[in-house]
């Protein structure tokens, strides 16, 4: 399909921005997007010029690039889990081990209980690293509970509305982290590494004062 003049101008503009970023030593991950809109001026030959006081000189048209588009589809092997208490008494979904690893994820809602998300790292002897952040806004005490195989040595990280940086490494035993939202909303974004596996885990959970709750998680193999 032929490329229109407008498309060529935008593609050239994008290339120019990429070259400028590389020249300045700035790099971005391919998955990172930004809502910021960049503006430049381009003529019919694809020549770019900077805006002058927000305006383009004669013979140039203003172009807008780098707009954040809709979120793309999950990558291959992605696992999505979602439950809500309004559709059942006790709702729970657990993933199978993901991509041949020991990683499983569970989302849980139950009357009179917290909304919960469990990230289970269940291969003894393998080293797991969990890094990321989570935040909680509500009237109760949103927590990240780090547990070993015996449920002993529990480390509790209290979460607030400011994202809390999470980092943990476990070697030689099963390990899990449980995120609980007693009354409010909790969201998190984790990167988990185990041997040669890497996973992105995005999750959210919510419980209101009437004991209605929902929980969801998206697990995507990242390498």
pLDDT at 73: 56
Please tell me the total count of domains within the chain: 2
Report the C-alpha dihedral over residues 136, 137, 138, 143, rounded to 10 degrees: 10
CB 195 within 8 A of CB 171: no
Are 12 and 96 in the same domain? no
In this model, does residue 14 exceed pLDDT 60? no
**pTM, whole model, 2 decimals?**
0.64
103 and 138 share one domain: yes
Q: Tell me, yes or no, whether 9 and 114 share the same domain.
A: no
209: left (phi over 0), alpha (psi -120 to 50) or beta: alpha
Please say if the pLDDT value at position 115 is more than 80.
Answer: yes
Give the 3-state secondary structure of residue 19.
Answer: helix
- For residues 68-86, average pLDDT: 72
Tell me, yes or no, whether 61 and 162 share the same domain: no
Q: Is residue 100 domain-shared with residue 122, that is, in the same domain?
A: yes
Residue 70 covered by a domain: no
pLDDT at 208 over 80: yes
Q: Which candidate, 1, 123, 5, 134, places its Cα nearest to that of 61?
A: 5
Tell me the pLDDT band of 8, cut-offs 50, 70 and 90. Answer: very low
The answer to whether 92 and 108 have CB atoms below 8 angstroms apart is: yes
User: Do 158 and 55 fall within a single domain?
Assistant: no
pLDDT digit string (tens) for 28-60?
Answer: 333 333 445 667 788 877 677 777 777 888 888
Residues 40 and 127 grouped into a single domain: no
Most confident of 67-71, 207-211, 219-223: 219-223
* In a shared domain, residues 54 and 92: no
Q: Is position 74 within any domain?
A: no
Which residue range forms the structural domain that includes residue 185? 79-221
């Amino acid at each position: 399909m032929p490329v229109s003049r407008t498309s060529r101008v935008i593609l050239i503009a994008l290339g120019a921005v990429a070259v400028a970023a590389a020249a300045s030593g700035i790099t971005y991950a391919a998955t990172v997007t930004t809502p910021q809109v960049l503006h430049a001026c381009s003529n019919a030959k694809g020549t770019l010029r900077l805006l002058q006081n927000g305006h383009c000189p004669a013979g140039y048209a203003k172009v807008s690039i780098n707009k954040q588009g809709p979120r793309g589809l999950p990558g291959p092997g992605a696992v999505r889990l979602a439950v809500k208490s309004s559709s059942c008494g006790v709702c729970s979904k657990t993933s199978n081990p993901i991509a041949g690893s020991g990683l499983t994820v569970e989302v849980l809602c139950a009357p009179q209980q917290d909304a919960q998300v469990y990230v289970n790292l269940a291969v003894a002897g393998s080293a797991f690293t969990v890094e990321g952040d989570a935040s909680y806004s509500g009237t109760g005490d949103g927590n990240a509970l780090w547990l070993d195989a015996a449920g002993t040595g529990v480390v509790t990280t209290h979460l607030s509305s400011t994202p809390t940086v999470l980092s943990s490494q476990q070697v030689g035993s099963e390990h899990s982290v449980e995120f609980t939202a007693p009354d409010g909303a909790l969201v998190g974004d984790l990167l988990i590494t185990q041997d040669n596996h890497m996973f992105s885990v995005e999750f959210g959970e919510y419980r209101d004062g009437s004991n209605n709750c929902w929980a969801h998680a998206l697990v995507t193999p990242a390498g």
